[in-house]
Chains A and B, each alone.
Chain A
């Protein structure tokens, strides 16, 4: 029973990780990060259900709160980068490499 939840979580996580590594658009990379977080949430909830304890579900709420805060900051950064550089490509934001 729990195996199916975990397979789904792994698939979602791998899709997210590949998205971060492959896509150049910052917004897409950002959504991929959300996908990985939610894959982790799914795994937490699945384990909590199996063990009959609430710890995993509580942890998944914390992850959601952190993800919401992260979205606020991350989107702000992406918007300000777009305003100055007219691009959301993560490869173009490499000033510190110079």
Chain B
């Protein structure tokens, strides 16, 4: 393995000194809304939107500045202050604004801002919406901390921050027991991943004496033995938790209990991509360990198929999209595991996915808005005529995700499949299969929601959403169509200094793999149309075969967790309780019973009669006298 050249960030000058504003603005919003909220109940939500917009403007200005700089001046480090210094460790808090993090900052503030605007309409009638916007701001601030940090420990602060915000937002409708349970489940399963993160960061501190990206990148090539693999696998565990990858995938489907804008912002566009960011950001580690890379590829491939499988079986529109999110993030992981050839494609797909998946989630929210919050697609049908704007924007997202030529997904996903074929024909074929299944379930979703006949329940009168909701849809729909073509030939060169890959030649004309992908996708669409487009869809879900049943039950992920983790732990705790009750308490009880019995005997001598005490004393004195006089004491 030849060590990669490491590009050090340059010191911050001019505008970059204000990079902290990106984080500070939404953090200020969260503080104002959550602490001083009562006085700004009315204007609070608008304030939140304004602050996110300000954050976006800062990110955009920095991005433009970077575009205008020479390539070796683009990565900028912005030291802020020293967090703590103890012994030989000094942890500095600073920001790293480089080619990778600025793209994330734009995605988070851009898509996040649109989702804030959309929420103004979606949450208009919720009496706790001021708090909702406070949580959204908190999330954005934490997520920006995660991607802008220049140090794994500071990244971890953001990592936990998004976990907290995600918990608060999934359980936002806390009066629903299912929402409260889903929030707890997400939090606990994320803890498992956080455990891996903590171990990874501790290992870095032990190995490099620092957790700053710069030190880790410089120190990684000097690692001995299996340490690179150890750190890589631990980071992968962390990434699995946050990005809902197998085996820590079960929380994402339940997380759909949260309000739909939350699903769009956190569980589709931004937070769940943190794992991909982590792997790409830690490329110095992964490049040194083919084993860890292979693990990333396996996790990504398994998840992309599992997510797609679940997506085909669900009737709940949000859960189909959740399965699809899992699947698409699986693609990103797969690309990130391929190594330098894949990093740029992982980020490329992440960005386009952020746009089109947020678009579709918000579209699903718009549909639910019109259908009295019903999420069952079997109660939809023929909505294209009643929700035209939602239909057209959703359609744009649909074309993007299945990879219709020249839309966003066409570019980003094809590159990943090509890279997968270059890595190994098996992984490539599975990724290709996933693309076909994606086309199948998304076509099914479109046909069940917008096509066919009405299957509405009584009293439902679908209506188009207000402009405050449809404008973000239109913007995101437009991005879904053009983002891929805009970034296609640019992103690899842009990311090269940050990820160390060397640009491949990409063309607008499809390659052999590209043609194959198109054929598989077309087959998926055709099969879906044959099954769901030609005959009416039953309002009751049919029993289905084993494959469908497995998909409906999330591939028995919960049952597996229960059998493999919950039951053994419960068994262990029961054994501990039994041990405590029998062995330990038994010993103590025997001891105390013995002492109590002894004291009953001893109490007999205490008669309470003064004269008997006097007798005892006299006998005692006589006994002592006898001993003294006879000289028995020696």
Contact = CB atoms under 8 A, between A and B. Distances in A.
Given A17-B618, A21-B618, A94 B611 contact: no
A21 B611 contact: yes
A31 to B, nearest CB: 14
A80 B603 CA distance: 28
Contacts of A96: 608
A90 B607 CA distance: 12
A20 B608 contact: no
B610 interface: yes
Interface in B584-625: 606-611, 614-615, 618
A20 B606 contact: no
Contacts of B607: 94, 97
A21 B606 CA distance: 16
A91 interface: yes
Contacts of B614: 17, 20-21
**Interface size band for B:** under 10
A40 to B, nearest CB: 12
A93 B613 CA distance: 13
Nearest to B618: A17
Contacts of A91: 609-611
Nearest to A17: B618
Interface residues of A, number: 12
Interface in A19-51: 20-22, 24, 29
A54 to B, nearest CB: 26
A90 B608 contact: no
B618 A90 contact: no
A90 B609 contact: yes
B2 to A, nearest CB: 92
B606 A90 contact: no
B611 A24 contact: yes
A22 B609 CA distance: 11
Nearest to B609: A91
A17 B611 CA distance: 10
A10 to B, nearest CB: 11
Contacts of A21: 611, 614-615, 618
Q: Is the interface of B mostly helix, strand, loop or mixed?
A: helix
Nearest to A91: B609
A20 B621 CA distance: 15
Interface string B419-450: 00000000000000000000000000000000
Contacts of B608: 94, 96-97
A55 B152 CA distance: 88
A91 B613 CA distance: 11
Nearest to B607: A97
Interface string A65-91: 000000000000000000000000011
A11 B611 CA distance: 20
Nearest to A26: B610
B620 to A, nearest CB: 12
B133 to A, nearest CB: 71
A93 B615 CA distance: 17
A15 to B, nearest CB: 13
A21 B609 CA distance: 10
Contacts of A93: 610
B426 to A, nearest CB: 89
A43 to B, nearest CB: 14
B69 to A, nearest CB: 94
Contacts of B609: 90-91, 94
A94 B608 CA distance: 5
A43 B615 CA distance: 23
A91 B610 CA distance: 7
A84 B221 CA distance: 95
Contacts of B618: 17, 21
Of listed B607, B611, B618, residue having the most chain A CB within 10 A? B611
B430 to A, nearest CB: 86
B611 A22 contact: yes
Nearest to A90: B610
A20 B618 CA distance: 10
B606 A97 contact: yes
Contacts of B606: 97
Contacts of A97: 606-608
A21 to B, nearest CB: 5
B617 to A, nearest CB: 9
A24 B610 CA distance: 9
Nearest to A23: B611
Nearest to A14: B618
A96 B606 CA distance: 10
A12 to B, nearest CB: 15
Contacts of A29: 610-611
Nearest to B615: A21
Contacts of A22: 611
A16 B609 CA distance: 18
A79 B615 CA distance: 24
Nearest to B621: A17
A21 B615 CA distance: 6
Nearest to B610: A90
Nearest to A95: B608
Nearest to A94: B608
A30 B608 CA distance: 18
A11 B610 CA distance: 23
A90 B615 CA distance: 14
A29 B613 CA distance: 13
Contacts of B610: 29, 90-91, 93
A93 B609 CA distance: 8
B610 to A, nearest CB: 4
Contacts of A17: 614, 618
A98 to B, nearest CB: 8
A24 B606 CA distance: 18
A24 B608 CA distance: 13
A68 B297 CA distance: 101
6 contacts: A17-B618, A21-B614, A22-B611, A93-B610, A94-B608, A97-B607
Given A17-B618, A24-B611, A91-B611, 15 more contacts: A17-B614, A20-B611, A21-B611, A21-B614, A21-B615, A21-B618, A22-B611, A90-B609, A90-B610, A90-B611, A93-B610, A94-B608, A96-B608, A97-B606, A97-B608
Q: Which 10 A-B pairs have the closest CB atoms?
A: A97-B608, A94-B608, A90-B610, A20-B614, A21-B614, A21-B615, A21-B611, A17-B618, A91-B609, A96-B608
Interface of B: 606-611, 614-615, 618
